[in-house]
Amino acid sequence: MQKNNYVFVITGAAGSGKTTVANYLQEQYHMHRVITHTTRLPRPGERDGIDYHFETPETIKKLHLLEQVTYDQSQYGSSVEGLEEGWHNGQNDVIVLDTAGAITYHQQLGSQAVIIFLTVTHMKTLARRMTLRGDQNAAIRSRLKSKEYHRDLMLPPMLKGIAHVVVNDQWKETKNQIDAIVKQIVSV
Ligand SMILES: Nc1nc2c(ncn2[C@@H]2O[C@H](COP(=O)(O)OP(=O)(O)O)[C@@H](O)[C@H]2O)c(=O)[nH]1
Ligand SMILES: Nc1ncnc2c1ncn2[C@@H]1O[C@H](COP(=O)(O)OP(=O)(O)O)[C@@H](O)[C@H]1O
């Protein structure tokens, strides 16, 4: 793997703003978005190859994945090829992962993986944002009941002192914090 570029790993609970931050890094800093694979069904408006590579339990088995997790009964995974696509073009990558994936990236890539953990002050905000995003009620209920959702509300002990923690209450403030993290990393 090429050593001179970074992958910004955006992690945190459902609704914490991971996709929003990833889109910002893509637009503002021309980062390469690593599209991951999932067996979950597309949400209204989600497009294959843009939001996710949508897979079946059979097709996901055939992929060569760097890591793979089960999250709320669906499978998700990311490939080395996805990472290298951006690095070959001289870009930094951005990827959205659950906290188990973020730990694996840290273990495999060390400081080349810049982990950003998103949270909010009031956890009720998360469900409200999922509703505003247009998620179906049944999907939200399933998320909120899943053990992975509850696990990802807190920074995992293994990422303490490693991850940059950003409280995404006010978007303007979040943007300033993300800008500061990017500047700190890319200027080294
Ligand atoms: N480890 C890992 N997690 C992933 C991958 N792709 C997506 N995720 C995570 O899977 C979880 C569920 O994603 P999604 O169904 O899009 O729901 P959302 O969190 O409500 O946007 C989120 O925490 C994503 O960050 C992957 O390739 N690997
Ligand atoms: N700081 C914020 N203030 C208000 N709404 C936000 C903020 N950040 C994200 N959102 C909105 O909350 C919803 C969930 O954000 P999203 O990025 O999809 O979360 P995640 O990918 O972590 O599930 C989206 O509709 C998004 O536009």
Q: Is the CB of 97 under 6 A from ligand 1?
A: yes
Q: How far is CA 178 from CA 78, 122, 144, 159, 170, in A?
A: 23, 20, 27, 18, 12
Closest CA to 153 of 19, 45, 12, 35: 12
Distance 134 CA to ligand 2 centre (A): 11
Report d(CA 123, CA 13) in Å as an integer: 9
Domains of the chain: 7-35+91-186 (3.40.50.300)
d(CA 39, CA 54): 6
Q: Whose CA is nearest to atom 23 of ligand 1?
A: 98
Which regions in the chain score pLDDT beneath 70? 1-3, 188
* Model pTM score: 0.97
Residue 44: the pLDDT is 85
State residue 10's pLDDT score. 98
In 3D space, the residue among 153, 126, 143, 131 whose CA is nearest the CA of residue 71 turns out to be 143
Q: Rounded to an integer, what distance in angstroms lies between the CA atom of residue 39 and that of residue 28?
A: 30
